[in-house]
Amino acid sequence: MKALKYILISLIATTLLPVVLQAKAPIFPINQPDPKPNRIIRTCCSFGTEMQLFAIPGVKLTETTSIEKIGPHHYLGDASEENGIIYSRRGGFIDMAHLRDQSDWTAYLYSQILENKKKGSLSIILGREGGEKNLNVIIPSNLNNLDLIHLAGKIAYDLSVWHEIATWFGASTIPFVPERYSSFSIEDPYSNLLGVTIGIQALQSELPYEQAVTQIIRKTLKELDAVSNEAETFLAMEAVRDIWWTRDKKLPSSKVLLQRQLQVYPCLKPWLVPGWASENQTSSELTVPELASNGHNLSQFYQLEFKLNYKFPFHKMFPERRERNITQNDFDRMLAQVATELTRKESQTRERKDKLNN
């Protein structure tokens, strides 16, 4: 069953060299020419239980894990991490692969910002995902180390939001294998921001980065009241079957998810399974890093630039523009378009059901 996790993505996954990170600033070895994380470091997990895969009859996929099962954190991932989805009574469903990815992106971006602080600027080519992707950062000398850590976290989170947007509009790791089925999955945005939050905490620790993340993950899962075993996560997913997701469709159908999480800024409230929280137990909200210690908005210090491919309905979203270029400041329009398309899809589904019932 474990091997099934890699069917859709790991077929073309890039082999990454081991990287050692220490203390507050991750240190990459000299012989590592490009320590930049891949756009998807670890394979994310499909939401649902005993899911069938299109064109692979008889296979049922359940990608859950537990506190007792997960292993130490490894920068850029390792099979011993035993990632999967865990349910928590205060943080909802948590995808450990998404969480670890965003912690690593935060660490990587912080190391690059710190390395270029004296120069005062940073430019990184981030490859292609829905089109060309680049990052430009201005690094003012009056920002302290904590500001730089928060700046890295903000950029990492924006990149995670871009991944959700891009996969909705047709970006995929494997050609002709759509990933819209997992775009804005209920657990993804919260898991992403939780990973950024853990990365920020780890970069302030005196411990080596990987050790710090390992300890903070376990502490955080305990604080979020994560269930004790995989069976409980399975039952939590079953409790929202045919409400949040359905087993009637096969992966990678976009119709597997019945609900999606589009509220991604400025804070995130987890989706909790009704009836699973203890009495007087409150959800754990997370806030996207926004301000430096001097009160300036972190967004003014960087620009994520995207040159969109033709899968995006660009002129519908940006009728006043000719060039297919956007930045993170344009995400609101794109999220609005996703919401519009979801509403239209839900309306069409209701109409079809009404016709069948009549």
| Residue 349 pLDDT | 72
| Residue 15 pLDDT | 30
| Residue 25 pLDDT | 58
Please check the confidence at residue 26 and state whether its pLDDT lies above 50.
yes
Summarize the confidence of residues 31-48 as an average pLDDT.
75
Q: Do residues 5 and 43 lie in contact, with contact meaning Cβ atoms separated by under 8 Å?
A: yes
| Residue 34 pLDDT | 56
Please check the confidence at residue 24 and state whether its pLDDT lies above 70.
no
Q: Which of 53-67, 70-84, 336-350 has the highest mean pLDDT?
A: 70-84
Summarize the confidence of residues 71-85 as an average pLDDT.
95
Given 3-state DSSP classes, what are the helix, strand and coil percentages for the chain, each rounded to the nearest 5? Answer: 40, 15, 45
Q: What percent of the chain has pLDDT over 70?
A: 89
| Cα four-point dihedral sign 194, 290, 115, 34 | positive
Half-sphere exposure of 147 (CA within 13 A, CB side): 19
pLDDT averaged over the chain? 89
Please check the confidence at residue 152 and state whether its pLDDT lies above 60.
yes
Judged by average pLDDT, the poorest of 172-181, 245-254, 298-307 is 172-181
Distances (CA, A) of 320 to 188, 315, 337: 32, 8, 16
* Band of pLDDT at residue 227, cut at 50, 70 and 90: very high
Domain ranges of the chain: 2-357
Please check the confidence at residue 296 and state whether its pLDDT lies above 80.
yes
Residue with more model confidence, 18 or 174: 174
Total Cβ atoms within 10 A of residue 216:
20
* Band of pLDDT at residue 112, cut at 50, 70 and 90: very high
pLDDT tens digits, residue range 162-215?
999 999 999 988 777 889 999 999 999 999 999 999 999 999 999 999 999 999
What's this model's pTM, rounded to 2 decimal places?
0.90
Summarize the confidence of residues 309-325 as an average pLDDT.
96
Query: How many residues appear in the chain?
Result: 358
* Band of pLDDT at residue 348, cut at 50, 70 and 90: confident
Judged by average pLDDT, the poorest of 53-62, 137-146, 317-326 is 53-62
